[in-house]
Chain A
């Protein structure tokens, strides 16, 4: 794995999902709101997971 991906892989994925989530709810209601909640909620879930598992 390249060093860029190793360092910025997760942050890039989370940033892209966040941006999709931010724009999603602006585009439509109903399913678009759900998309937005999922996309913005996912980074929080990943955060919870790494904080729980990656301790040293």
Chain B
């Protein structure tokens, strides 16, 4: 490569890194506990909760919904989701069908008694960390901003790989010159740690960027795919009374046999039309369990309107989630994720250190 090209790539590496490093450090630090979200929740007491009547009959979903809404007067239902490891149904409600996220109330209900499941003590800390990691408490603009940082990070990694070559002409992979200056030592660490993690960090970075686009992706899906289903209801107001959720779920199960119900989206929200309950079901193989597809149920009559196949961009988002979270290969994968995350922190911090110490000098004393 010509010296001019190397200089240009170094500039790209320097500036893309400078802009995104502090945010990436925040993302890596908050991401670390999030890898073990489930384990931490269990340790905090999620595991210790027992249903009121462990062997008793389960309430149907309509009864659960009623119990949840009685505790939130004036609210309409937005979502209903189902814990997989215990008889708990979660109802998300809000003052209006299109309520902002900050106005939504999440009520986990014991399906054996209709009582609320108490919050896990300390669970608020994990929620705080998750929110900071997702959007820095700034909603959609915050998410998109972090997505932009992810794009810069990707550019920084690619340019980093290019500028790696000139340093390594006379050195074996992984050599760390520890006996000379601290700058050289950390340059070598930065290089080897960056190169060992490059594939993982690119995948986690890019899937993170895709995750920041979740809102626009679902908005596009709703506009394009669901618009056709709402045409017959043109001019009608939102249904005042909603048909049975239990029957909607039963109908959806019948329409999509062999699949597992993940959640129900009520009319008027971001995941359904104004006139349907959308029951989302996912498959049961390691691959298909990440991809949920909705059965749309007429909210007035409870009749099945359609089963929708998700477009490619929603499936891409669905597969981006496990690849970003690292929660799809048991505890060993999570531990590997954590180690790679820690290494990435060292790469970011050493990069910052090299810049603060004047990287040019380090380049000049190349062997």
Instruction: Verify if B307 is at the interface (C-beta below 8 Å from A).
Output: no
> How many A-B contacts are there with CB distance less than 8 Å?
104
Interface of chain B residues 192 through 215 with chain A (CB within 8 A): 192-193, 195-200, 203
Measured in the bound complex, the distance between the Cα atoms of B343 and A14 in whole Å is 15
Chain B residues closer than 8 Å to A44, beta-carbon distance: 196, 336, 339-340
Chain A residues closer than 8 Å to B53, beta-carbon distance: none
Partner of A10, one of B173, B322, B323, B340: B173
A contacts with B: majority SS: helix
Instruction: Verify if B286 is at the interface (C-beta below 8 Å from A).
Output: yes
Instruction: Verify if B84 is at the interface (C-beta below 8 Å from A).
Output: no
Contact B319 A33 (CB under 8 A): no
Contact A56 B179 (CB under 8 A): yes
**Mask for A15-37, Cβ within 8 A of B = 1, else 0?**
11011001011111100110011
Interface residue total, chain B, C-beta cutoff 8 A: 38
Instruction: Verify if A2 is at the interface (C-beta below 8 Å from B).
Output: no
Instruction: Verify if B176 is at the interface (C-beta below 8 Å from A).
Output: yes
Instruction: Verify if B169 is at the interface (C-beta below 8 Å from A).
Output: yes
Chain B residues closer than 8 Å to A55, beta-carbon distance: 175-176, 178-179
Which residues of chain B have a CB within 8 Å of any CB of chain A? 161, 164-165, 168-169, 172-179, 192-193, 195-200, 203, 285-287, 290, 319, 322-323, 328-330, 332-333, 336, 339-340, 343
Which residues of chain A have a CB within 8 Å of any CB of chain B? 3, 6-11, 14-16, 18-19, 22, 24-29, 32-33, 36-37, 40-41, 43-44, 46-47, 49-51, 54-56
